[in-house]
Amino acid sequence: MTETALTRPILTEAVKLALIARFTALADDEMILSHRVAEWTGHAPLLEEDIALANIAQDELGHATLWLGLRAALDGSNADALAYHRDAAEFRNVPLTELPKGDWAVTMVRQYLFDAWEVLWLDAARQSSYVPLAEAATQALREEKFHLQHTALWVERLALGTPESTRRTQDALTQLWPYALGLGEPLPTEADAVAAGLLPDVADVQTRWQRLVRGHLEGVGLSFPTLSPLPYNRQQHTEHLVPLLADFQRVAREFPESRVW
Amino acid sequence: MTQIHTAPASVPAPAALLTETPEQLAAFEARIAAGDKIEPGDWMPAEYRRQLIRMISQHAHSEVVGMLPEGEWISYAPSLKRKLILMAKVQDEAGHGQYLYHAAETLGATREDMVDALLSGKAKYSSIFNYPTHSWADVGMIGWLVDGAAIKNQTMLAGCSYGPYSRAMVRICSEETFHHKQGKEMIVLYAQGTPQQREMAQDALNRWWWPSLMMLGPHDADSPNSGVLSRWGVKLKSNDEVRQEYMNEHVPELLEAGLTIPDADMHQDEQGNWKHGAIDWTEFWAVVKGERGLNKERLGARQQAHEGGAWVRDALDAYAARESGAKRA
């Protein structure tokens, strides 16, 4: 993951900041979602799903550290300091990831929508002219494809299962869809980096993602809600992030003198 | 995670069923004496089957319930590395549970019956998981001491006479060794860390030391199930022998880490064995019987997960029926 001759000439200060902003957004999405997914450990509806979800949670957290590593190479930041010593207002995850884990349908629909987005964004990022990003995207994509396979099948089984599971799955989609659209909002700083071929164009990814998830979910009988704009985005979080971070950062902040764990 | 204890009771001798002939029993015992592994399709006394189902399913339940005390700390882990390690560790426990349920299924038990027995309180699980976890250092101490004790017991069981259980233990031990290492590494780091970390590590040792000794079971004279299990090659060492191995490994390491073992009477004998002071078994049995500790909370969490997940399992069944119907049509 070292800077190469290929990347050096194009990293202007503005582009560097755009990359840092995108890596932070990616890391925060993965870190917060991983935390939510891991809340199921020991409480899943099937023992096999305790195992599968713990696996997904580990992969997401592993990806978060991958993105934080790319950020650190640009600004020398420390992954644990960013995870444990930022306040909610400084987190840049989409509010979709911070919503409570809800029931199994909420967890699976959210994970499906997120995995589908990730697979498509990472696929596009493999073409980035910023080599460390292209390499990381290739690595993370392999795992995200497995997640997508798993969650796509779950959503299908729940949507086509019993009347109760159909109702719960539809409710989950109705609740989550407006939040999921936040994944496709471009970061305010990244237009130049996109034009220079360093970052994927989220508008393109958004189009492909909508086609994928609408095709799949409508194919199993679910319908998409009519939207009203949400007051939340990567800068404006829901009321759920503060208590989530109170758990996440509890021990680290309780013992501020102890920086090595 | 480790062996299970029921309150002391008189042990009925393994009575042969009317359908079991002395010749069958003699041939079976000759195989045990020769060190053969008994495999699922082989002839075995009904009592051997019953004892193994009891032991393996309770071992599986211990893994499943054992996810709870540490699992709740995944949310609070103080670094990304520790969070990741703990997720992997608790995932392993779930995997061990699954593996062991399958081992018990080879004897004719069903997952549904075993889970029902756990949820109704009929089956036991290791009472070590009914102790509360008070601080982050407990996660490390559980890895070092509880998993350390479990490994001693499970290494012995890896040599047991029932093939599937023995092979399950080999695999589980290799993962438990990782759990043990991460716990020890964490506690050694904290024992040499900031004053707060040192205090946290010592406090965790104070609370987990005696339960970890007791989880290896009552003294040999008071161990109700040991007779039959030794005779048929399931338990190859006595509780006190395993406990001695555990002491001899862990005491010097804990002392070297700079921690104080909360036992004023502990000493080394002439052979170099570390000997503990008198164990307060009243506390142990109170926790086993659920009079003390978190038995109600642990079972409640499992019951809630099971009941809360019923609609999900129904959906899976309905989907599977629909798919197989579609294939037939």
Q: Is some CB atom of chain A closer than 8 A to the CB atom of B134?
A: no
- The CATH code that applies to domain A11-223+234-254 is 1.20.1260.10
| Domain ranges, residue B136 | 22-293
A258 close contact with B: CB closer than 8 A: yes
CA distance B127 to chain A (A): 17
Of A54, A80, A258, the CB nearest to B197: A258
Please state the separation of Cα A193 from the chain's center in Å: 20
- Smallest Cβ–Cβ distance between B76 and the set A47, A79, A250 belongs to A250
Nearest to A246 by CA among A42, A84, A39, A38: A84
Dihedral sign of CA atoms A51, B84, B153, B158 in order: positive
Cβ atoms of B182 and B89 closer than 8 Å: yes
Using pLDDT thresholds of 50, 70 and 90, give the confidence band for residue B40: very high
The whole-angstrom distance between B288's CA and the closest CA on chain A is 21
Whether residue B221 lies inside any domain: the answer is yes
Please state the domain extents for chain A: 11-223+234-254
- By C-alpha distance, the chain B residue nearest A157 is B319
Q: Name the average pLDDT for chain B.
A: 93
Nearest CA to B81 out of A199, A91, A25, A58 is that of A58
* Residue at B305 is within a domain: no
Question: Which residue from B71, B94, B308 is facing A45, i.e. has the nearest CB?
Answer: B308
- Cross-chain residue pair A251–B136, CB shorter than 8 Å: yes
DSSP-assigned letters across all residues of B160-184? -SBHHHHHHHHHHHHHHHHHHHHHH
pLDDT value at position A72?
A: 98
Q: What residue in A sits closest to B197 (Cα-Cα)? A: A258
Chain A: residue nearest B115 by CA? A47
Structure tokens belonging to residue A232: 């939340």
User: Residue A99 and residue B116: Cα distance in Å, rounded?
Assistant: 33
pLDDT at residue B13 in the model: 45
Decide if A21 touches B, using CB distance below 8 A.
no
Contacts of B76 in chain A (CB under 8 A): 247-248, 250-251
pTM (predicted TM-score): 0.94
Using the Cβ of A58 and the Cβ atoms of chain B, whether some distance falls under 8 Å is answered with: yes
* A146 at B interface, C-beta within 8 A: no
Q: Residue A97 belongs to what H/E stretch?
A: helix A95-98
Contact with chain A for residue B314, Cβ under 8 A: yes
Which residue is it, tokens 């990022």? A125
Question: Could you give the ipTM of this predicted complex?
Answer: 0.95
Does residue B310 sit within a domain? no
In a domain, B175, yes or no: yes
- Find which of B89, B91, B125, B197 to mutate to test the A interface (most A CBs within 10 Å of its CB): B91
Centre a 10 Å sphere on the Cβ of residue A124 and count the other Cβ atoms it contains: 17
Encoded tokens for A91: 């987190």
B15 found inside a domain:
no
Is residue B93 in a domain? yes
CB-neighbour burial class of residue A229 (10 A; exposed 0-12, middle 13-18, buried 19+): exposed
Shortest distance, CA B249 to any CA of chain A (angstroms): 25
pLDDT in tens, B200-242: 999 999 999 999 999 999 998 887 666 888 999 999 999 999 9
- Reduce the secondary structure of B67-135 to three states and give it as a string: HHHHHCCHHHCCCHHHHHHHHHHHHHHHHHHHHHHHHHHCCCCCHHHHHHHHHCCCCCCCHHHHCCCCC
Q: What is the mean pLDDT of residues B55-75?
A: 96
**Which of A107, A247, A255 is the best residue to mutate to test the B interface, defined by the most B CB atoms within 10 Å of its own CB?**
A255
Is residue B307 in some structural domain?
no
Give, as one character, the DSSP assignment of residue B293. Answer: S
With a cut of 90, say whether residue B16 has pLDDT above it.
Answer: no
For residue B205, give the nearest of B153, B151, B256, B144 by alpha carbon. Answer: B144
Q: Long-range pairs for B277-282 at CB < 8 Å and ≥24 separation?
A: B279/B210, B279/B213, B279/B214, B279/B219, B280/B210, B281/B214, B281/B218, B281/B222
Burial (0-12, 13-18, 19+ Cβ within 10 Å), B190: buried
pLDDT for B1 equals 46
The answer to whether residue B324 neighbours chain A at the CB level (below 8 Å) is no
* Interface-testing mutation among A28, A86, A162, with chain B (most B C-beta atoms within 10 A): A162
Kindly give the interhelix angle for B111-119 and B46-71, rounded to the nearest 10 degrees: 60
- Across the interface, of A39, A48, A161, the residue whose CB is closest to B98 is A48
Contact A80 B80 (CB under 8 A): yes
> So what's the pLDDT on residue B56?
97
**Residues of A with Cβ-Cβ distance to B78 under 8 angstroms:** 84, 251-252, 255, 258, 261
Q: Does A39 touch chain B (CB under 8 A)?
A: yes
Residue B126 in contact with residue B1, Cβ under 8 Å?
A: yes
Query: Other CB atoms closer than 10 Å to residue A233's CB: what's the count?
Result: 13
Q: CB A157 to CB B83 under 8 A? A: no
Of B136, B197, B309, the CB nearest to A46: B309
SS3 assignment, position B268: strand
CATH number of the domain residue B173 falls in: 1.20.1260.10
Beta carbons of B94 and B67 less than 8 angstroms apart = yes
Residues of chain A contacting B197 with CB distance shorter than 8 Å: 255, 258
- What is the nearest CA distance from A207 to chain B, expressed in angstroms? 30
The residues near B48 (Cβ < 8 Å, ≥ 6 apart) are B14, B28, B38, B162, B232
Number of domains in chain B: 1
Chain A residue numbers touching B195 (CB-CB < 8 A) = 257
Which single residue is written with the structure tokens 């509890």?
A: A250
Per-residue pLDDT band for B7 (boundaries 50, 70, 90) equals very low
Question: Which residues 274-303 on chain B approach chain A with CB closer than 8 angstroms?
Answer: 301
DSSP state of A130: S
Residue B128 domain flag: yes
Tens digits of pLDDT across chain A (261 residues): 455 555 455 689 999 999 999 999 999 999 999 999 999 999 999 999 999 999 999 999 999 999 999 999 999 999 999 999 999 999 999 999 999 999 999 999 999 999 999 999 999 999 999 999 999 999 999 999 999 999 999 999 999 999 999 999 999 999 999 999 999 999 999 999 999 999 999 999 999 999 999 999 999 999 999 887 789 999 999 999 999 999 999 999 999 888 899
Contact A45 B305 (CB under 8 A): yes
List the single best residue of B63, B92, B114, B319 to mutate versus A (max A Cβ within 10 A). Answer: B319
